[in-house]
Structure 1
Amino acid sequence: LGTDDRAILDRLDQILEEESTRHTFKLKEGEAVFFANKRVLHARTGFDAGSDRTLFRVRYHADLGRAARGGLMRWLRGLFVEGERMPAPKPDRIELLKEQAAAHPEDVALLRKLAKELAGRGDFTGAEEWNARALKLAPEDHDMLLLSSCLKWEAADHGGAQEALRTLAQHHPFLFPKRQDAVKPTVLRLRGFKNIKYVLRGGVGRYAPRLQGGHFSVTHFLDKRHFNVVSANVFDEAAPWPEGKPLPDVVLNCVACADRMKDSLKALEGFLKAHPDLPVINHPANVLKTSREENYRRLGAIEGVVFPNTVRLEAGSADAALAAIKAGGFTYPLILRPTETHTGVDVAKVEDEAGVHRYFESAQPDRAYYIIQFHDLRDSAGRYRKSRTFCIDGTYYPVASLVHDDWNVHSGDRYAVMADDDASQAAERDYLANFTDWLGAENIKRLHQARDLMELEFFGVDFCKLPDGRLFIFECNAAMRHNYDHAGAFPYTEPYLDKVSSAFDAMLKARTGAMAHDWVRLNQRAQGL
């Protein structure tokens, strides 16, 4: 294969590994899933060697076109063993809702329910039609504005999607829980809506709104059994705290990307100036200092730390890039990427000036980009390594240590090499179990210096240890997702992921007071919870 052929295949690999294009689920006992083999790319993750889980695969050859013409239910009857009874089909919920909506065309709740049901089943065109009808009757409705943004994004109307989020933030700057427990402490979760997207993603046959970009997820961090959670929604202006409402016990800023979320972060910074006594986790003013370019300036100055030369390019053109490459003293190969992304999307290693021109042929002129010096960090076996640690309330916790045969290493890449490689799994086990010794005293000091410069209560560091013992930092910010996506295939990682979740929970409890949580436990015990 030539260089261009490999680049195409590498790009295909990147697309297939993007979480936005994947639906992942775990079958329960007795469940089955059908794939149209020529229409759906599908796979499964591995089992633990000691697992008693058994999975059966059955091939059924069918003419799906003929099946569709003859009726899907009739075709499904052919899958039942003779003597078994095919369950009677239930009335279709969509058709029932449409009949009711036709009879009550001004019932907003009914129209909203129908639009959500259509969107949940993947009929985005139908959902847009009914959601638009509902919005004409109730243009400030929270759920319909959110769904409108999702549907417009799916239809590639990105401007319309952003405008829907702007309207949502204006009319719903704060979302309070329907039932607020007076015993529980209150967490104010900050969210920014400018330059992010809500998309429709979900499990098998069901779609739901999911926020993507610019934030860290609290799914495995924030246990709503212990807290009242109020959400603050900001576009580029922050509303004042509602009069008469008690102030929260702690502010949790989930806005994490200094490049993508600058306007929202500045607005949130202004909001917090009115409440200087509130404890804040990840103050927006400190998050604003964590762009890649600023991290190169700050972290690259730590003795014994290598942070690759990074320059921000405001205009997405080859001529501007070539001028910046020359002025910045870069050498080929180098990396080009949009400033606001934290995945492998639209990231490329270019080998020469011709590669720069090719990259910017498809670039957006109004989009900002980074030029980053590439360092060839292959080990003696020709593989690339990247480790991750989370810093929570001043303490570092090991998360993962990956091995890959490509330079652009992300969490999903662990299957390419590590799934069947005992040595790389043993190396990751060693990293997780002996984190401090694995790093060494000098690198621990360097991470502590980085922690003091970051001034954040939560952030992640992606790095590798160089052969001479120094620390090479790829990335350092709060825009890193804590998840258990791969714990099933690599079960030895789960206890360490649990420690991360527990540490974050302990940080929240420390900010809201131990006495408050004693009351929560006593109250739940009294209710038999």
Structure 2
Amino acid sequence: MTSRSMVLPTSQAEAPDISSLLRAGRELYRSGEIKRAIAIFQAGLALAATASIGVVVDGVADLHAALANAFMLCDDIGSAAENYKAALRIAPHLVACWCNLGIVHQRSGRTQDAISLYLEALRRNPGHRPSRTNLVEALVASRQFAIARTLLLELLEETPEDAELRSQLGKVCFALGETAEAVIQFEQAVALAPGQAENFYWVGAIRQARGELEAAQAAYARAVHTHPVLRRPAAKSPPAFRALALFAPFVGNTPVEFLFKDCAYQTSIVSLLPGSPPDGSLLADEADVVVNLVSDADQGAEVLPLVAAIAASLGKPVVNDPARIRNTTRDATALALADVEGCRVPRTIRIAACEGLPGGLVLAFPVLARQAGMHGGDVFEKLADVAALTAFLAAHADHDRYVIDYVDYRSADGFFRKYRFLFIGEEILPYHLAIGGDWKLHRDATDMAHHAWMQEEEERFLSAPGQVFGASLDRALRVIRDRIGLDYFGIDCALDPDGRLVVFEVNASMLVHDQNPEFPYKDPYIRRIKVAFDRMLARLAQGN
């Protein structure tokens, strides 16, 4: 008898009892008829509510647990949580419910609560493997990498051939700075499960980060040959749409680890290597929207034409048109924004490789100098005089360099403040505020974790950026958005003593991540960025 024609078992009074409803619901659940299963489980709970006090409570607990599992499959995590809790109130020995309630909390962004629930499950059953593996994920999400590594090593002692655990250990080792061990773990994962494409690409990325360029090139070539497209399934089935991302190793790319996490859409990433153009027919069925990740106009100058050609051949909407990316070098953006009302854009001069200071150039020292194509604080100095600048240019003569007017953007209290916004379609969202005592200011290198007032100021900015950037500066930001013309990019900026917007950097290479265990107040504002990004892709994929 098929599940669709199933007749529920009945008692002698021709009425189903709790046990029969539980069995029937589970049968529907196993056959994939989740909504019908939910209705049966709910009918069982309704029947239990009318039963005598002597009703078997374990059956009610099992109904709540089964109903919670069904709600999880429907992505109704609120209802799932209610039913897991109800089951545990009746039968706290149900270890799987503690574990699954932890999953609910983790999916809701409450990682520390999830960890507590996994630990409770393990207190009741120390060997419960799902709780142990989920605990690893929660520890990684909260950046407790050392503990995660210990637990992974214990799990691997039990199942050394588990490629997924090897891959997780590789990521944890990388996060801990143990890059050589990370490569070993990913190579073992590749050997154990050659069908898991991501591990191939991790080997290339880590070798590139270690400066092992020949080995990195070989690893990427192997990855592209074995898995031309790196596919990540959607968090739901069927996927809402398909996004194809164009990525180029060895040049600057938009960081998307956070943006492409837990997506309702399928993401496929194709790596573009010199001399190895991808098969266009292979890509044709991968995309409803194309996302160009090549974001550094200096590093990516040679590959951007290839990106443009591939994107054009697919005939789909494109996020971050490669032609517009080419106009986002530091000198080009300085010129494009020089006359924006309310802005102060430092003059930026590009000096070609092997060339020195041009004759007749008038500079007001100190000035800033940096190597083209570098981000953060790498190869970036404040120089006090011509001699120091000349020495810097000579030391980095193999590359183009920028000379930038220095703007003293200290606030009245003596601290420097640098703000970051993300432009996502029509939206402009705050990402962070960095406060520190030095002009070369990076949020992750500040001492903000030890100063409550700095955190409170950042939270005020994130919750109400308009209180810092009034209407005139909001207009300036919108002019910047229109002139840059990209779908997704960021700006690092400050305010000078006259209240003008000081523009430091505008491009699509800026890092956005959600790993902020010391600053949990940031989480809802960072999630807004992810939601806005997903919404923008959905709109483009649907042709709106």
Q: CA deviation at 1:382?
A: 2.0
What residue identity is the alignment partner of 2:363? F
CA shift digits 1:69-98 (9 cap, x unpaired): xxxxxxxxxxxxxxxxxxxx989869988x
Matches within 5 A, 1:119-518: 124=180, 146=201, 149-150=204-205, 152-153=207-208, 156-166=211-221, 168-169=223-224, 172-176=227-231, 183-193=239-249, 195-196=250-251, 214-236=252-274, 238-242=277-281, 246-276=285-315, 278-315=316-353, 320-321=355-356, 323-324=357-358, 327-360=360-393, 362-363=395-396, 365-416=397-448, 419-422=450-453, 424-486=454-516, 488-513=517-542
Q: CA RMSD in A?
A: 4.2
Change (3 A) 1:94 1:170: same
SS of corresponding position for 1:165? helix
In percent, how many aligned pairs have the same letter? 22
- The structure with higher relative contact order (CA 8 Å, sep 6+) is 1
8 Å CA contact retained: 1:166, 1:235: yes
Structure 1: any 5+ residue segments left out of the alignment? 1-24, 32-54, 56-88, 98-108, 197-213, 516-529
Matched AA of 1:485: Q
- 1:238 touches 1:270 (CA, 8 Å); kept in 2? no
* Cα separation, partners in 2 of 1:419 and 1:514, compared to 1, 3 Å: farther
Q: Could you report, residue by residue, the CA deviation over 1:347-366 in whole angstroms, capped at 9, with x for unpaired residues?
A: 11111133225435653x42
Q: Which runs of 5+ in 2 are unaligned?
A: 1-110, 121-143, 145-152
Give the secondary-structure state (helix, strand or coil) at the position aligned to 1:508: helix
Q: Deviation of residue 402 (structure 1)? A: 2.2
Q: Secondary structure at the match of 2:368?
A: strand
The equivalent of 1:204 in structure 2 is: none
Secondary structure, counterpart of 1:439 in structure 2: coil
Indicate how the Cα distance of structure 1 residues 129 and 414 shifts in structure 2: closer, same or farther if over 3 A, else same. closer
What CA distance in whole angstroms lies between the structure 2 residues aligned with 1:226 and 1:457? 20
- Counterparts of 2:361 and 2:225 in 1: how far apart (Å)? 42
Matched residue type, 1:280: V
Deviation at 1:367, TM superposition (A): 2.3
1:274 counterpart SS class: helix
The Cα offsets for residues 492-518 of structure 1, whole Å up to 9 and x where unpaired, read as 322222222221122122223399xxx
TM-score after normalising by structure 2 = 0.62
CA distance in 1, matches of 2:531, 2:418: 24
Cα distance in structure 2, aligned partners of 1:465 and 1:120? 38
The separation in 1 between residues aligned to 2:310 and 2:501, in whole angstroms, is: 37
Shift of 1:411: 1.2
Q: Distance in 2 between matches of 1:182 and 1:381?
A: 54
Q: Secondary structure at the match of 1:498?
A: helix
Q: Deviation per CA, 1:190-228: give whole Å up to 9, x if none.
A: 2111x24xxxxxxxxxxxxxxxxx122223323444111
Q: What is the number of equivalent residue pairs in this alignment? A: 393
Shift of 1:254: 2.2
In 2: Cα distance, 1:308 partner to 1:405 partner: 21
Point out the structure with max Rg over C-alpha.
2
Of Structure 1 and Structure 2, which has the larger fraction of its residues in helix? 2
Taking the aligned partners of 1:115 and 1:495, their CA distance within structure 2 comes to: 29
Give the deviation of 1:426 after TM superposition: 4.0
Partner Cα separation in structure 2 for residue 154 and residue 425 of structure 1: 31
State the Cα distance separating 1:305 from its structure 2 match. Answer: 1.6
Instruction: Name the SS of the counterpart of 2:304 in structure 1.
Output: helix
